[in-house]
Structure 1
Amino acid sequence: MVHNVESGGGGKGVSCIIRAAVLVVWFYIAGVYGGPVSGPAVSSDQQYIYSPRVVVSGDVFPWRAIGRINLAGRGYCTATLIARDVVLTAAHCLWNRDMGRWYPLQYLKFVVGMNGKNVQAVAGIKRMLVSRAFSAAVSQAAKPWLDVRSDWALLRLDKPLGDMLGSVSLATGMRPSVGMPVVHAGYRYDRQEVLTVQQRCVITGIYDRQRLLRSNCQSGYGDSGGPLLFRQEGRWYVLGLHSVRVGDSASLAVAARVYSEFWSGF
């Protein structure tokens, strides 16, 4: 099930996930890792060499399709154009913990193509779609994996920026595998006004019927909602979106198959 929020709604009818949003953000800040999910999983303990993050140009595709959701002067998260007027980000980014509600959509902006103070385009948000299943573990000892899988949000823009900048397709037909090379992109806290990427990281675990992906991509504040990208035959795809840091050297992403069926109809 999904939950719609129209522009100006300001968070009505979302009491079922108040604790969820707070706790998922806490998991991100604290870097809590609750252990492997119960049930079938595929993972690898192989040691990998980490590549450094590098700055990429906001003038070049696919990087120009990756921007920030600015949260009314209260911070930001990374987001990706997946259609001409739809962006993908993490649900926990959009919850105002201080006010106990969603950020009012009229105060949110999608800013793309950042290079310092310069930007290529800005759009407002008309509508938001999040999963009603978004919930979090109730204690540090519990396993947050099955809750993280619902940490996604789709935002409808008031301008079709994808017509100008392009959009990155969701990897709906791909079967992820351990060892698959991926690229992690985001506006991380240490370079907030430029997009940085980590190349040559890989998928290290697949969980919950391929709905959760673990990688050895190293993430930080600001990366939430950023894409886990895969390139095949010269084309880029969103394989998953970054939700939570796992310790110091790995990340969890919500796989594209989880939200791919919703974006075209909301």
Structure 2
Amino acid sequence: MRFVLTLTFMALLGGTGPVEAQQRNTSLTGLGGANEALVWQAVGRLDADSVGFCTATLIAPDLLLTAAHCVYSPTSNTPLKAEDLTFRAGLRNGTSAAERQIVQIEAHPGYTPGQGSTVENIRHDVALLRLKTPIPTHMLDPFVLFDERFAKGPVSVVSYGRGRAELPSRQAVCRMFDHYQGVVLMDCDVTFGSSGAPVFSHKNGRGQIVSVVSSVGRFEGKKVSFGMVLPRLVADLKRQMRANAQNPLASARRITINSGVSRTTSTGGAKFVRPGGS
């Protein structure tokens, strides 16, 4: 199968998906109602001081799942400091269901910061973050991973993004339509800030995370979003996290963060974006 990534700033902001996808997909809608948002409160905004935000999801009382590129500075490609990251679960108009600091960061070793949205990077664009204080399950119910074989079909995405930083948005139906060497292709509506957003399968009732939003680009002339096949990657990261748990400072490779703004490169991606930014 021919597989060409053309990821540019214009691909993120302009263009439309195929007409047939528009006919079957639902629109992106803000979760403005309290009852509607309640189901998705384990999805939250991951804020990085002086950088911006991504989307992250609680998968255990003390573990977050997000994209690997969300834990690197978008200007210097160096690791962010754990204490400069804050998870705001279910953030809606300034109010969070829970708020926690991060104490440990583990990005998949297969991801290379600064290399852009190559097939190899998209395939490994996953990170686990450990919370300083767990969020009890009676407060928030973590989502679980979908561990069955990849199958084409409908999925949903919950994310934050540019222009909708204060309210989570959900696309109830978009589609996984192909995969290639561990990279998943979708026609979901995502933008800056959507990086790390969970892609849900609803095959077994409550949503299970089947992938994570990595980047946006074009495939065979059509605008698409990219994710990855998760189970093996998350298992790798859990082992890595346990191995480094006794020395989180070393594993996070603490450095000084350069002051940055939202940006894209010639290879693009659904990068960090400042709240309210453009």
Q: In which range does the TM-score fall when normalised by the shorter chain?
A: 0.7 to 0.9
Query: Which ranges in structure 1 are unaligned for 5 or more consecutive residues?
Result: 1-25, 33-44
Distance between the aligned counterparts of 1:73 and 1:112, measured in 2?
Answer: 20
Partners of 1:212 and 1:254 within 8 A in 2: yes
> 8 Å contact 2:185–2:225 — kept in the other structure?
yes
Distance in 1, matches of 2:136 and 2:202, equals 19
Which structure's residues are more often strand, by fraction?
A: 1
Change (3 A) 1:137 1:112: closer
2:189 pairs with 218, 229, 236, which one?
218
Q: Distance in 2 between matches of 1:46 and 1:55?
A: 23
Matched position secondary structure for 1:106: helix
TM-score, length basis structure 2: 0.72
1:249 is aligned to 223
Q: What is aligned with 2:71?
A: 94
Cα drift, residue 188 of structure 1: 1.4
TM-superposed CA distance for 1:135, in Å, is 2.7
What is residue 151 of structure 2 aligned with on the other side?
177
User: Structure 2 stretches of 5 or more lacking a match?
Assistant: 1-5, 13-17, 242-278
Q: Report what 2:244 is aligned to.
A: none
CA shift at 1:138, angstroms? 6.0
Root-mean-square deviation (CA), in Å? 2.7
Equivalent of 1:74 in 47, 51, 76: 51
Distance 2:192 2:183 in 1: 20
Residues 136 and 144 of structure 1 are in contact (CA less than 8 Å); yes or no, is this contact kept in structure 2? no
Distance in 2, matches of 1:122 and 1:137, equals: 30
In the TM superposition, residue 113 of structure 1 has moved relative to its aligned partner by 1.7
Q: CA deviation at 1:235?
A: 2.2
- Kindly report which structure 2 residues correspond to 1:1-266, keeping only aligned pairs within 5 A, or say none: 27=7, 29=9, 31=11, 47-49=20-22, 50-56=25-31, 57=33, 60-135=37-112, 144-163=118-137, 164-172=139-147, 174-178=148-152, 180-208=153-181, 211-247=182-218, 249-265=223-239, 266=241
Quote the Cα distance in structure 2 between the aligned partners of 1:63 and 1:118: 14
Q: Go from structure 1 to structure 2 and tell me whether the alpha carbon gap of 1:85 and 1:257 turns closer, same or farther (over 3 Å shift).
A: same
Alpha-carbon separation, structure 2, partners of 1:181 and 1:241: 15
With structure 1 as the length reference, what TM-score do the two structures score? Answer: 0.75
Tell me the percent identity: 24
SS of the residue 1:235 aligns to? coil
CA gap 1:263/1:165 in 2 versus in 1, 3 angstroms: farther
Q: Distance in 2 between matches of 1:28 and 1:65?
A: 31
Aligned length: 223
Q: 1:216 to 1:153 in 2, by over 3 A?
A: same
